[in-house]
């Protein structure tokens, strides 16, 4: 597609929030810190945030709840990553999938240290850290993190070396070290080194004339000790492994060696005339959180770009070394990096197992989960012709409930926007973008729409963590194409997943909408589990029009027809519905609460769940990551069950469902139950009204939390126990496998 440069229709800006009092008082002035398996699910409020229990119980009276009712969020996150590690350790997991889970574990832990640990250290250093909601002092929290992370990293190295690498070798995929290579392989790699690696290496000496060099975050480095044969003096030097090189290089077919081994084997080429005495691999993790002052809305883009440059030089929070490192070299690194000994993690090499992701992508289908290709949703499929479906016509007939990746993203959400861009009757498209792919067909469709003269409004969240550079690029590209680009409200991230299309139909205008739980990201939509609603319902269309007007202008509307919107009324809306279930239960009507989210830590909502449990209402929680709920405590939460599911897809949808006295009420959308989502983000839940759709979602939630489904169960002590077999020792089925089978049967495959 040829991109045209057009005059700007609207100036990129961040809209200041309407001047209105908060319904809940001032939000907490706590720095945002973040992380989970999916970068979008961050750690929210700080570990030291104080409890904010909901005022009043189900009957309006304040019920006293025990002080130790919340689980520690840091331990909960580490327990989540331990579940990822258990998938890598599980012999029932296909071998290359185990390799991928090792990579995911390592990547998760990197982000946890870059943001969560870094934020906690910063608050301790500045004296603003207070006790966590569990009553633990911040220093004790930090020490627990070091202890558990060290144990998990040791387990990861053992899993890689003793199991995964050996089993890969049995399958003809060899992950070797330099001494394991044949002479011919070493000769071949020497040639590769001279041609493609040596020219980009820069050894940096450390001596009185050369200060200790800056070590960039997550880079692999060689600490090299050399001796001058003329003087006998020893010298230290650092060699950075170029980040653009592949982590594992192929020595011969299906035989791989870490790139740092190749560099280490040829250090003499870098230090001609010197004796190379020793070398050691190390890796530094730095604080990569962002702190952007948003008081000056017009300069937000420039301020963010400046802060992204500063982030590269954040203080170190972890030093990884191979356990064979020389003590003198380690002392030098600790001293020069100004890092504590407790922050040094010595493990067997190789370091940085995130690079195993490339090995996991090898074309060996027999070592992976059986292939599954998503199909077009049956309400959008053209049965009698090969032409693309008319999505607008389908939506005039009924709402469409999408479940990715079981339903194709490209033939549903992507097709919806592409059809809107090409349709001459479409007058306007309004869209939020939090994350998208590098070659995004969504962005291309929006540009095409602007090129054809349609009004296109795009709200790009340029503060989406670790996607800031990409989103700044998209914002500028969209603006140059003639789209109106805004960055949302000052002080609030826009995390909701919304599309609105306005179409001329005869004498009337009709609005078509999509509200989802996941990003408009065609690539992650193939392995992120998400829900979405495509609808032509006038109430949803009117709600989204009002909300987009608030995001792009100065609209003050806070009450919606089929939406709950944070930070104004989402928490209160959920709490009111939990209390309503207590009323239904006391009246003898069907009552229950089922929730599915990535993280559940908001104390006010959790307290209402405790009170519902005390009243006898059954509560089922399906949490992927952090969960501060303490289930199964007599007198407090014996009616609460908490489950977690891991598998080939990353569980990412957020759903909140209620028994409703026999008429179930179901909401889906973007928010997790975290302080940042409910207080410092624009988040949206949409009410699902179609009875068949409500039934589909409530069955999904019931299946995912059932004792007969493979999952992890959370106990009152905060420990997660895996339930993978029944009482007879037969494997339990994963809910993802059930859904895949259901889709295959529906297609007759």
Q: Please write the tens of the pLDDT for every residue from 504-515.
A: 999 999 999 999
Tell whether 61 is covered by a domain: no
pLDDT for the residue 464: 52
Average pLDDT, the chain: 87
Residue 520: which of 539, 494, 482, 554 has the closest Cα? Answer: 494
* 524 and 508 within one domain: yes
pLDDT for the residue 288: 78
The pLDDT of residue 248 is above 80: yes
Q: Under a CB-based contact definition with an 8 Å cutoff, are residues 521 and 488 in contact? A: no
* 486 sits in which H/E element: strand 484-489
The pLDDT of residue 168 is above 80: yes
Most confident of 16-20, 162-166, 287-291, 727-731: 162-166
174 among known catalytic residues:
no
Q: Please write the tens of the pLDDT for every residue from 409-452.
A: 999 999 999 999 999 999 999 999 887 766 789 999 999 999 99
Residue 510: which of 388, 392, 423 has the closest Cα? Answer: 392
* 234 and 108 within one domain: no
- Per DSSP, the three-state class of 679 is helix
pLDDT for the residue 434: 84
Domain containing 535 equals 391-557
Tell whether 450 is covered by a domain: yes
pLDDT for the residue 674: 96
pLDDT for the residue 573: 97
Read off the pLDDT band of 206 (50, 70, 90).
confident
* 267 and 216 within one domain: yes
Tell whether 3 is covered by a domain: no
Of 186-195, 303-312, 355-364, least confident by mean pLDDT is: 303-312
Name the domain boundary from 500, 535, 557: 557
CATH number at residue 147: 1.20.58.310
Those residues whose C-beta lies under 8 Å from the C-beta of residue 505, and which sit 6 or more positions away, are 425
Residue 559 to residues 3, 137, 515, 576, Cα–Cα distance (Å): 40, 40, 17, 15
Quickly list DSSP for 178-236: GGGS-HHHHHHHHHHIIIIIGGG---EEEBTTBPPPP--TT-EEEEEEEE-TTT--EEE
> Is 528 marked as a binding-site residue?
yes
Rounded CA-CA distance 271/205 in Å is 10
Both tokens of residue 605?
Answer: 């909502």
> Is 624 marked as a binding-site residue?
yes
Both tokens of residue 95?
Answer: 């071998």
Mean local confidence (pLDDT), 190-216: 90
- % of the chain exceeding 90 in pLDDT: 73
Q: Under a CB-based contact definition with an 8 Å cutoff, are residues 152 and 78 in contact? A: yes
* 261 and 190 within one domain: yes
Tell whether 10 is covered by a domain: no
* 548 and 452 within one domain: yes
Mean local confidence (pLDDT), 254-279: 96
Those residues whose C-beta lies under 8 Å from the C-beta of residue 687, and which sit 6 or more positions away, are 562, 563, 564, 665, 666, 667
* More reliable by pLDDT, 611 or 216: 611
Name the domain boundary from 524, 557, 590: 557
* 641 and 708 within one domain: yes
CATH number at residue 182: 3.30.1840.10
Q: Please write the tens of the pLDDT for every residue from 444-492.
A: 999 999 999 999 999 888 765 655 667 677 778 888 888 888 876 777 8
Q: Cα angle vertex 88, ends 82, 94, to 5°?
A: 150
* 126 and 217 within one domain: no
- DSSP-assigned beta bridge partners for residue 525: none
* Catalytic-role residue among 495, 521, 585, 675: 495
* 519 and 424 within one domain: yes
Give me the number of domains the chain comprises.
Answer: 4
- DSSP-assigned beta bridge partners for residue 429: 456, 501
> Is 435 marked as a binding-site residue?
yes
Name the domain boundary from 157, 188, 204: 157
pLDDT for the residue 8: 38
Q: How far is CA 484 from the centre of its chain?
A: 28
- End-to-end, the C-alpha distance of the chain in Å comes to 36
> Is 734 marked as a binding-site residue?
no
- Per DSSP, the three-state class of 474 is helix
Tell whether 8 is covered by a domain: no
Structure-token match 């119980």, residue found: 57
Q: Please write the tens of the pLDDT for every residue from 354-377.
A: 999 999 999 999 999 999 999 999
pLDDT for the residue 15: 40
Q: Please write the tens of the pLDDT for every residue from 13-57.
A: 444 433 333 333 333 332 233 334 343 334 333 333 333 444 444
| Pairing of β 563-566 and β 681-688 | antiparallel
> Is 108 marked as a binding-site residue?
yes
Tell whether 499 is covered by a domain: yes
Tell whether 169 is covered by a domain: no
pLDDT for the residue 62: 52
List the 255-258 sheet strands across, edge first.
Answer: 174-175, 255-258, 248-252
pLDDT for the residue 313: 62
* 577 and 713 within one domain: yes
CATH number at residue 686: 3.30.870.10
Mean local confidence (pLDDT), 685-692: 98
Rounded CA-CA distance 314/306 in Å is 13
pLDDT for the residue 306: 55
Rounded CA-CA distance 181/403 in Å is 47
Q: Under a CB-based contact definition with an 8 Å cutoff, are residues 526 and 405 in contact? A: yes
pTM, two decimals, is 0.87
* 286 and 426 within one domain: no
> Is 559 marked as a binding-site residue?
no
* 88 sits in which H/E element: helix 73-89
Omega of the bond leading into 79 within 30 degrees of 0 (cis): no
* 512 and 623 within one domain: no
* 603 and 510 within one domain: no
Q: Please write the tens of the pLDDT for every residue from 546-563.
A: 999 988 876 667 789 999
Q: Please write the tens of the pLDDT for every residue from 113-136.
A: 998 999 899 888 888 777 888 888
Tell whether 535 is covered by a domain: yes
């Amino acid at each position: 597609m040829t991109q045209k440069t057009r005059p700007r229709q609207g100036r990129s800006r961040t809209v200041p929030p309407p001047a209105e009092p908060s319904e809940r008082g001032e939000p907490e002035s706590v720095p945002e810190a973040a992380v989970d398996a999916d970068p979008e699910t961050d750690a929210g409020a700080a570990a030291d945030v104080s409890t904010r229990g909901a005022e009043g119980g189900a009957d309006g009276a304040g019920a006293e709840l025990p002080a130790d009712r919340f689980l520690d969020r840091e331990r909960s996150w580490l327990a989540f990553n331990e579940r990822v590690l258990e998938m890598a350790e599980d012999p029932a997991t296909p071998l290359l999938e185990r390799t991928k889970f090792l990579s995911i574990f390592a990547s998760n832990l990197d982000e946890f240290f870059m943001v969560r640990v870094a934020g906690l250290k910063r608050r301790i250093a500045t004296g603003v850290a207070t006790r966590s909601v569990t009553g633990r002092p911040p220093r004790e929290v930090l020490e627990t993190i070091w202890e558990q992370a060290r144990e998990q990293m040791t387990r990861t190295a053992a899993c890689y070396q003793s199991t995964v690498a050996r089993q890969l070798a049995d399958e003809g995929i060899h992950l070797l070290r330099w001494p394991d290579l044949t002479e011919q392989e070493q000769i071949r790699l020497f040639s590769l080194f001279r041609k493609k690696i040596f020219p980009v290496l820069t050894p940096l000496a450390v001596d009185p004339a050369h200060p200790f060099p800056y070590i960039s975050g997550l880079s692999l480095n060689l600490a090299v000790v050399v001796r001058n044969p003329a003087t006998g003096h020893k010298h230290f030097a650092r060699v950075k492994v170029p980040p653009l090189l592949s982590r594992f290089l192929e020595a011969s077919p299906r035989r791989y060696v870490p790139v740092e081994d190749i560099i280490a084997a040829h250090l003499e080429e870098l230090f001609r005339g010197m004796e190379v005495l020793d070398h050691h691999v190390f890796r530094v993790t730095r604080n990569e959180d962002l702190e952007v002052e948003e008081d000056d809305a017009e300069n937000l883009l420039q301020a963010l770009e400046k802060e992204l440059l500063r982030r590269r030089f954040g203080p170190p929070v972890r030093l990884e070394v191979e356990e064979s490192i020389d003590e003198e070299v380690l002392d030098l690194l600790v001293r020069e990096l100004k890092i504590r000994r407790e922050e040094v993690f010595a493990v067997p090499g190789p370091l940085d197992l995130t690079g195993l992701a490339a090995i996991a992508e090898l074309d060996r289908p027999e070592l992976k989960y059986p292939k599954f290709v998503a199909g077009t949703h049956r309400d959008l499929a053209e049965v009698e012709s090969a032409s693309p479906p008319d999505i607008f016509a389908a939506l005039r007939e009924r709402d469409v409930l999408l479940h990715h990746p079981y339903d194709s993203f490209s033939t549903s959400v992507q097709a919806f926007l592409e059809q809107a861009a090409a349709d001459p009757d479409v007058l306007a498209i309004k869209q939020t973008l939090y994350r998208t792919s590098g070659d995004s067909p969504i962005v291309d469709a929006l540009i095409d729409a602007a090129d054809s003269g349609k009004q296109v409004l795009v709200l790009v969240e340029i503060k989406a963590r670790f996607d800031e550079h990409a989103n700044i690029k998209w914002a500028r590209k969209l603006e140059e194409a003639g789209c109106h680009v805004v960055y949302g409200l000052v002080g609030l991230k826009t995390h909701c997943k919304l599309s609105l299309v306005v179409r001329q139909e005869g004498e009337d205008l009709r609005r078509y909408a999509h509200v989802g739980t996941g990003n408009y990201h065609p690539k992650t939509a193939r392995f992120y589990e998400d829900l979405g609603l495509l609808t032509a319902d006038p109430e949803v269309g009117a709600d989204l029009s009002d909300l987009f007007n608030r995001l792009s202008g100065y609209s003050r509307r806070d009450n919606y027809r089929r939406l709950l919107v944070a930070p104004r009324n989402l928490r209160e809306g959920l709490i009111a519905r939990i209390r309503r279930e207590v009323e239904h239960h006391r009246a003898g009507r069907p009552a229950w609460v089922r929730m599915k989210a990535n993280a559940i830590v908001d104390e006010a909502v959790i307290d209402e769940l405790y009170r519902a449990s005390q009243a006898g209402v059954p509560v089922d929680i399906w949490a992927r990551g952090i969960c501060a709920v303490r289930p199964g405590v007599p007198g407090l939460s014996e009616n609460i069950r908490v489950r977690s599911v891991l598998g080939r897809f990353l569980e990412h949808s957020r759903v909140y469902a209620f028994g409703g006295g026999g008429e179930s009420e179901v909401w889906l959308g973007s928010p997790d139950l975290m302080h940042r989502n409910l207080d410092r983000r624009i988040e949206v839940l949409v009410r699902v009204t179609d009875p068949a759709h409500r039934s589909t979602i409530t069955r999904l939630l019931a299946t995912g939390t059932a004792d007969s489904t493979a999952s992890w169960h959370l106990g009152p002590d905060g420990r997660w126990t895996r339930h993978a077999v029944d009482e007879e020792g037969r494997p339990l089925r994963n809910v993802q496998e059930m859904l895949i089978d259901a889709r295959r049967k529906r297609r007759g495959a």
